């Protein structure tokens, strides 16, 4: 008889658990994970909550059942945002488990775990133990009863709203019109509780129905197409601000009064400056702020100018929370619109971030665009994701390029970061980039920032080509909407009936190579390393005379493919 093995490594990630509900993450698996989490806890108290996904109630019940069998005393919080669960964990000094897949598609679900006081649980801080314990229960086919576990209901929303109201004071005198797009997700529960009672806020609701099918748009506010409804509403309502939340409402994206999205790093800089000022007013000499390796350079500059100290961290909530707690940092900033607060148990909260933005705007007579203008001085690419077969080799190509630049500084805190930004460099030579592997997919994630937009675009194009290779990069470059269809090109051959022209130098022509100009200038013959000049439907080496075809806009530069021409 063959023993059934259970491997949960595909769904247990670095910072949380995620998979397709009913397939990768079933009630049976959730029950085993709940039991295994109860096993690693030093105290039996556990708060379990869930979002509005269709699969969430069943998974929540299964987690509670498994935890209770292992002696946990479970407080069932029901529908909740993730930061609402963190708040409950902090206030009650109990562990927490949130059933959610955040911004993932409707068919997915997952879990976010925390220890008492909202302390994070990641791969290096207990999540691997939970995975192994759950696999053991699944293999055994049973979860033995231990102790006298039980479950009871708990309402956490009122305490959550009161806690946030106590952390940020909105000045009287200015009433702000604010459109909130809840994406049919958990901000539909928390925004009325937190923003609704405020006299300084006129709350305009958009997509507030709790519907796990996401009928209006996916709950991922970092994707521009998911902000279109909010942009229209902000303009239509003449609103001062727009707020877009993700599925579990722990992230918030801000739109100004024109409907223009504000870069998350700009919001991070604003929050960092406010929290540093508050801490210094309370007597702290040099408050610390944790910033992940992908956030804008401007965040670093704001922290220094405000009299704070920056702590550079890898991407991911488990790591940044741990570093914040160890260093007693007042705030944390991630490029992904996650903002962390010491006074909120070192946890992230999209709603608390929104309150900071509202307070900062209410303190002025100006617009949101004017408020954040000073916090977006540089040109950023946003995050570009590239599918690759060999991330190590692609990263090595970028590293080798960076090592050839005398002014470049390299660090590997989180993937590969290259800094080409010093005071002695001209403004159009100042840039930095981050290239790191996805923790969940076969992707490389690239972010580029520069002092000038043209530089950012050039570096982005250059690194993109290095990551994908010249041929792949050319294939994946979208054609302009107005471009005419390109006729099919035919591989060039040396004309036999043109004795008057030496094969070593064909007449100039349109090669059809569809690559950026700087890439074209860098291309060399794969056989001898000579420079290439454009001829009809091909590139020809000026040294050895070999002719390399251009097929579909792509230079076919493969050593040994082209014959060396005769000299006569």
Q: Spell out the domains of the chain, with CATH numbers in brackets.
A: 17-156 (3.40.120.10), 177-255 (3.40.120.10), 264-373 (3.40.120.10), 379-468 (3.30.310.50), 490-568 (no CATH)
Pick from 320, 349, 337, 335: nearest CA to 445? 335
> Vertex 414, ends 433 and 403: CA angle to 5°?
50
**What pLDDT was estimated at residue 490?**
29
Alpha helices (H) along 95-249? 127-140, 157-167, 187-194, 228-237
Alpha helices (H) along 20-70? 27-40, 56-69
CB atoms within 10 A of CB 522: 12
Cβ within 8 Å of residue 305, ≥6 positions away: none
What whole-number distance in Å separates Cα of residue 57 and Cα of residue 62? Answer: 9
Taking phi over 0 as left and psi of -120 to 50 as alpha, with beta for the rest, 553 belongs to left
Measured on CA atoms in the order 391, 421, 264, 272, is the torsion positive or negative?
positive
Beta-sheet pairing, 288-292 with 241-245: unpaired
CB atoms within 10 A of CB 9: 10
**What pLDDT was estimated at residue 506?**
58
What whole-number distance in Å separates Cα of residue 382 and Cα of residue 386? Answer: 13
Helix axes 82-92, 157-167, angle to 10 degrees: 90
Beta-sheet pairing, 331-333 with 309-313: unpaired
Q: Is 404 one of the annotated active-site residues of the chain?
A: no
What whole-number distance in Å separates Cα of residue 329 and Cα of residue 108? Answer: 34
- SS3 state of residue 483: coil
Pick from 195, 214, 92: nearest CA to 152? 92
- Contact, 318 vs 309, CB < 8 A? no
What whole-number distance in Å separates Cα of residue 101 and Cα of residue 413? Answer: 27
> Vertex 273, ends 272 and 274: CA angle to 5°?
90
Q: Which two tokens stand for residue 237?
A: 């309502």
Q: What is the pLDDT along the chain (568 residues), one digit of tens a residue?
A: 345 679 999 999 989 999 999 999 999 999 999 999 999 999 999 999 999 999 999 999 999 999 999 999 999 999 999 999 999 999 999 999 999 999 999 999 999 999 999 999 998 899 999 999 999 999 999 999 999 999 999 999 999 999 999 999 999 999 999 999 999 999 999 999 999 999 999 999 999 999 999 999 999 999 999 999 999 999 999 999 999 999 999 999 999 999 999 999 999 999 999 999 999 999 999 999 999 999 999 999 999 999 999 999 998 888 899 999 999 999 999 999 999 999 999 999 999 999 999 999 999 999 999 999 999 999 999 889 999 989 999 999 999 999 999 999 999 999 999 999 999 999 999 999 999 998 766 789 999 999 999 999 999 999 999 999 854 444 443 322 332 222 222 233 333 333 333 344 555 556 677 655 545 555 667 766 667 777 878 888 876 778 888 876 777 776 666 765 543 3
Cβ within 8 Å of residue 478, ≥6 positions away: none
The single residue listed with the structure tokens 């660090």 is 411
Q: Which two tokens stand for residue 355?
A: 């309150």
Torsion of CA 335, 247, 186, 12, to 10 degrees: -100
What whole-number distance in Å separates Cα of residue 230 and Cα of residue 53? Answer: 22
Cα 265 to Cα 123, 376, 425, 432: the distances in Å are: 26, 8, 24, 15
> Vertex 407, ends 405 and 413: CA angle to 5°?
90
What whole-number distance in Å separates Cα of residue 534 and Cα of residue 520? Answer: 10
**What pLDDT was estimated at residue 158?**
98
Active-site hit among 55, 60, 102, 511: 102
**What pLDDT was estimated at residue 493?**
33
Give the count of alpha carbons within 13 A of 431, CB side only: 24
């Amino acid at each position: 008889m063959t023993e059934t093995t259970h491997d949960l490594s595909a769904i247990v990630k670095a910072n949380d658990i995620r998979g397709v509900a009913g397939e990768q993450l079933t009630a049976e698996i959730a029950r085993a994970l709940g039991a295994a989490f109860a096993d690693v806890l030093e105290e039996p108290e556990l708060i379990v909550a869930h979002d509005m996904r269709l699969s969430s109630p069943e998974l929540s019940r299964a987690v509670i059942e498994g935890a209770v069998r292992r002696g946990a005393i479970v407080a069932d919080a029901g529908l909740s945002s993730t930061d609402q669960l963190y708040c409950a964990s902090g206030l009650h000094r109990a562990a927490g488990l949130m059933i959610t897949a955040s911004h993932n598609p409707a068919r997915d679900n997952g879990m976010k775990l925390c220890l008492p006081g909202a302390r994070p649980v990641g791969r290096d801080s207990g999540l691997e133990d939970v995975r192994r314990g759950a696999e053991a229960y699944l293999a055994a086919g049973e979860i033995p009863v231990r102790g006298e576990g039980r479950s009871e209901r708990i309402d956490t929303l009122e305490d959550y709203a009161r806690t946030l109201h106590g952390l940020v004071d909105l000045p009287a005198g200015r009433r702000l019109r604010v459109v909130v797009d809840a994406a049919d997700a958990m901000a539909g529960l928390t925004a009325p509780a937190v923003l609704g009672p405020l006299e300084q806020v006129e709350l305009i609701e958009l997509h507030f129905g709790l519907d796990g099918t996401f009928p209006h748009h996916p709950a991922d506010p970092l994707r521009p197409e998911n902000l279109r409804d909010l942009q229209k509403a902000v303009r239509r309502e003449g609103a001062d601000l727009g707020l877009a939340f993700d599925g579990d409402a722990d992230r918030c994206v801000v739109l100004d009064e024109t409907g223009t999205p504000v870069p998350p790093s700009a919001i991070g800089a604003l929050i960092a400056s406010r929290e540093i000022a508050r801490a210094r007013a309370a007597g702290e000499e040099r408050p610390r702020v944790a910033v992940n390796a992908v956030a804008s350079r401007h965040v670093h500059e704001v922290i220094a100018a405000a009299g704070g100290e920056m702590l550079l961290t890898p991407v991911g909530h488990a790591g940044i929370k741990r570093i914040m707690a160890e260093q007693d940092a007042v705030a944390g900033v991630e490029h992904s619109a996650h903002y962390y607060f010491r006074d909120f148990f070192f946890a992230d909260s999209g709603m608390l971030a929104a309150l900071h933005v509202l307070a900062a705007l209410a303190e002025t007579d100006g617009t949101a665009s004017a408020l954040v203008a000073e916090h977006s001085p540089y040109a950023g690419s946003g995050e570009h994701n590239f599918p690759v077969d060999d991330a190590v080799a692609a990263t090595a190509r970028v590293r080798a390029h960076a090592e050839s630049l005398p002014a470049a500084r390299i660090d590997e805190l989180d993937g590969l970061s290259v800094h080409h930004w010093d005071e002695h460099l001209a403004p159009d030579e100042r840039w930095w980039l981050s290239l790191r592997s996805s923790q969940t997919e076969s992707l490389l994630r690239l972010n580029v920032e520069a002092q000038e937009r043209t530089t950012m675009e050039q570096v982005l194009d250059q690194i993109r080509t290095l990551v994908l290779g010249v041929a792949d990069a050319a294939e994946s470059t979208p054609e302009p909407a107005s471009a005419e269809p390109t006729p099919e090109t035919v591989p060039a051959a040396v004309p036999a009936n043109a004795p008057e022209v030496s094969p070593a130098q064909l007449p100039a022509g349109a090669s059809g190579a569809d690559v950026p100009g700087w890439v074209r200038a860098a291309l060399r013959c794969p056989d001898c390393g000579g420079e290439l000049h454009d001829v009809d439907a091909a590139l020809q080496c000026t040294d050895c005379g070999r002719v390399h075809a251009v097929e579909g806009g792509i230079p076919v530069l493969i050593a040994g493919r082209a014959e060396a021409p005769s000299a006569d």
